[in-house]
Amino acid sequence: MTIERGVGAVRSYDKHAYEPFAVTVDLAVLTLREGALRVLLVERGQEPHAGHWALPGGFLLPEESAETAARRELAEETGLDDVSGLRLEQLRTYSDPGRDPRMRVVSVAFTALLPEPPEPRGGGDAAQARWLPYDAVPPLAFDHDRILADARERVGAELENTRAATAFCPPEFTLGELQQVYEAVWGTPLDRPNFRRKVLGTPGFVEPVPGAARLTGGRGKPAALYRAGTATALHPPLLRPSREGRPA
């Protein structure tokens, strides 16, 4: 009896009682090249904001999940399909009523860190796609500046709590190379001795490569080499200087 009443309520529901709105996905995909943080952007080929740079993304189709749509749009607009190691992490939902001039649009945003990415190519409604240096990104379409800033903050937190930074280093790396990753993502210089002490004092973060060393320039002795450790979470976390001393 309860089920029948529930079915009747569904059948009597008026789906036109509320103003319709669209759902989109946006992707903030970040990488490191030559020691600099870069972001994957597309040049919009259609209005609104034609000719402006934006994050890859688009409208969710009725039969898609948000992640399925995100991967489809990434492939269509940038040519990056079947990218090895691409793990999308849902960032947050953006729902300000005026964020899109066409209609009410709610966006589910994703972020990803992508080591050694291929060169993108524009497609779909994107005139072109490029990896642009984060510090040289022009004002973006819609509210994508906000999404990108939130993505960098999320990625920065991931580096605090996991060994994700080691994915952007060679299989065998120096602690100086690892420090460059943190400085690029966090956007701040780090004290070398303090960084070294914290990394080596965190169980499972890195492992020394016995007998291996690499010249890094200058007249100093070769630097010891390390590889990624086995820890999935860092205990204690490697906090950004701006967060050190804050209560946990």
Alpha helices (H) along the chain: 2-12, 66-78, 144-161, 175-186, 192-200
Burial class (CB in 10 A: 0-12, 13-18, 19+), 128: middle
> Cα(129)–Cα(123) distance, rounded to whole angstroms?
8
Q: Is residue 193 assigned to a domain? A: yes
CA proximity to 164, closest of 211, 225, 206 = 206
CATH code, domain carrying 136: 3.90.79.10
> Cα(21)–Cα(230) distance, rounded to whole angstroms?
45
Q: Is residue 31 assigned to a domain? A: yes
> Cα(49)–Cα(43) distance, rounded to whole angstroms?
9
**Full-model pTM:** 0.87
Beta strands in 34-135 (DSSP E): 36-44, 53-54, 57-59, 89-94, 105-113, 126-133
Q: Which domain holds residue 230?
A: 162-243
Binned at pLDDT 50, 70 and 90, residue 59 comes out as very high
User: Is residue 155 domain-shared with residue 167, that is, in the same domain?
Assistant: no
Q: What is the DSSP string of 151-171?
A: HHHHHHHHHHHSSGGGGGS-S
User: Is residue 34 domain-shared with residue 136, that is, in the same domain?
Assistant: yes
- Extract the tokens encoding 28: 């903030």
- Of 153 and 18, which is predicted with more confidence? 153
pLDDT at 14: 81
Q: Is residue 10 assigned to a domain? A: no
Q: Is residue 83 assigned to a domain? A: yes
pLDDT of 177-225, one tens digit each?
Answer: 999 999 999 999 999 999 999 999 999 999 999 987 776 765 667 889 9
Alpha-carbon distances, residue 69 vs 95, 194, 222 (angstroms): 18, 43, 48
User: Is residue 101 domain-shared with residue 209, that is, in the same domain?
Assistant: no
User: Is residue 134 domain-shared with residue 154, that is, in the same domain?
Assistant: yes
pLDDT at 11: 74
Span 85-104, average pLDDT: 92
User: Is residue 27 domain-shared with residue 109, that is, in the same domain?
Assistant: yes
The domain tally of the chain equals 2
Element (H, E) at 210: strand 206-214
User: Is residue 91 domain-shared with residue 173, that is, in the same domain?
Assistant: no
Tell how far CA 235 is from the center of its chain.
23
> Cα(214)–Cα(195) distance, rounded to whole angstroms?
19
User: Is residue 189 domain-shared with residue 146, that is, in the same domain?
Assistant: no
- Extract the tokens encoding 122: 């524009």
Of the three residues 103, 134, 159, the one that is the final residue of a domain is 159
